[in-house]
Amino acid sequence: MKQQARLTGFGGYSVAGMEQTQLSKTDSRIYGLDALKILSMVYVVILHSVGMGGVIFASKGSASHILIMVLFLWTQCAVNIFALVTGYVSYTDKPKKLNRKRIFDMWFQVVFYGLVITSICFFIFPGKITSKDFLCSAVPLFSNEYWYYTAYFIVYLMSPFINAAVRSLHEVTLRKTVAAVIIVFSFFSIFANSLGIVQPFSFTWVFVLYFLGAAIRKCRIGEKISNLKLVCCIVVCVILSLCWYMVMKETSFLNSTWDEELLSKYISPTMLISAICHLLIFRRIRTLKGLDKVLRFMSPCVFATYLINAHPIVYLNVMYDAFVPLTNLNVFLTVLFILLFAVVFVICSCLIDKLRQILFKVIRLDKFSGLLAKLSDKIVDTVSSRF
């Protein structure tokens, strides 16, 4: 597969119940986290542009390659950011019933974009689209078209239990658990990858990130660290990842292979720490004057960016090497164009999704989701009462 030969970006993501939950009565909506979700989607488009778009590989051997890699490594933490934010905003100090309507809303949204995009590509790329493509789009959860959606679907169902576990632990114990989880699932796992503790594109990693986000909120981890130190930490993580990439060639040590891309993987310590620093910075932003309404508008729609940009057919037939011609330009113009493209793509995707939301209301699909949620509630209650 072509995508296996690429440095790939974000797989797929949906924030449960996009609303911001409250930890106490004094908490207000954290607009910084809305902004962070949108920024992460900008990161996603950048990753796909320089990775699958071919910029990284086309620039190899040139002086511009280092700057392109800096851009890639800075944005590679996007998937980690989204999962951390999910755990952070979903955690509450009191038990909260699982919103099953959200499950069906997510399903219909993913199926909608999958079928629409596949249908459009059927006419644009005649002969390349088969009935199997339509079937995969119709059942995304089972076809694993979007690995993150599949992984997060399971995490979302388990979120009440994860939150309960975080809630039950004493703060001191929870802080120790956070340290242990980071050491085992990031530091140890990345350097002992032959053990298969956790893989970057897996349910386990999304589970770990959700847990860390929830724990960070309960323990208020990092509150005393200044924004300047957090930004410097991100810079250091990028530099370390870049140095590893530039210096390290494939090395085998104790049956574990360390390659040049080791510290650019989702589970690497540098990518995890960089994502945590982003979360700690943006959670402090309680309001953004003049942008509050824009963030409220875009935040519930931003998931569409990924569904459009990373649809498997689009990813392989449109994105593949699409940005290689940019490498003929001055490197700063290349970076500027990619940044502008990412921002415009996110904005357009949000506008498209707003139309999708209106369509769903017109055909009452949102009502249907509610009915399915009530039915599933009754089934779960009936089954659980027999145990």
DSSP notation for 4-71: GGS---------TTSSPP-SSTT----HHHHHHHHHHHHHHHHHHHHTTTSHHHHTTTSTTHHHHHHH
Q: What is the DSSP letter of 127?
A: T
What average pLDDT does the segment 115-134 reach? Answer: 89
Instruction: Specify the amino acid at residue 274.
Output: S
Lowest-pLDDT choice from 14-18, 52-56, 150-154, 174-178: 14-18
Answer yes or no: are the C-beta atoms of 80 and 109 closer than 8 Å. no
Contact 52, 310 (CB under 8 A): no
Q: For residue 200, which amino acid is it? A: P
* Both tokens assigned to 163: 């939150």
CA dihedral 153, 156, 158, 161 (to 10 degrees): 170
Amino acid at 70: V
pLDDT band at 115 (very low <50, low <70, confident <90, very high): very high
- Alpha-carbon gap, residue 318 to 312, rounded angstroms: 10
Which tens digits make up the pLDDT trace of 303-314?
999 899 988 888
Among 128-132, 254-258, 357-361, which stretch is predicted with the lowest mean pLDDT? Answer: 254-258
Query: How confident is the model over 19-76, as pLDDT tens digits?
Result: 444 444 344 678 899 999 999 999 999 999 999 899 999 988 888 899 999 999 999 9
Classify each residue of 247-260 as buried b or exposed e, where b means 16 or more C-beta atoms within 10 Å of its C-beta. eeeeeeeeeeebbe
pLDDT at residue 5 tops 60: no
pLDDT in tens, 173-194: 999 999 999 998 888 878 776 5
Q: How many CB atoms lie within 10 A of CB 261?
A: 14
Q: Is 320 helix (H, G, I), strand (E, B) or coil?
A: coil
CB 40 within 8 A of CB 14: no
Residues 6+ apart with CB under 8 A from 221: 175, 178, 215, 280
Rounded to an integer, what is the distance from CA 82 to the centroid of its chain?
Answer: 4
Tell me: pLDDT of 14 over 80.
no
Of how many residues is the chain composed? 387
CA–CA gap between residue 38 and residue 350 (Å, rounded): 10
- Answer positive or negative: Cα dihedral of 335, 341, 342, 344: positive
Q: Give dist(CA 20, CA 221) in Å, integer.
A: 19
Domain boundaries, the chain: 29-385
Q: 337-355 burial string, b = 16+ CB within 10 Å, else e?
A: ebeebbbebbbebbebbee
What is the model's pTM? 0.88
Distances in whole angstroms, Cα of residue 130 to Cα of each of 26, 123, 125, 167: 54, 12, 11, 48
Which pLDDT score, from 0 to 100, does residue 251 have? Answer: 59
- In this structure, of 231-235, 273-277, 288-292, the range with the lowest mean pLDDT score is 288-292
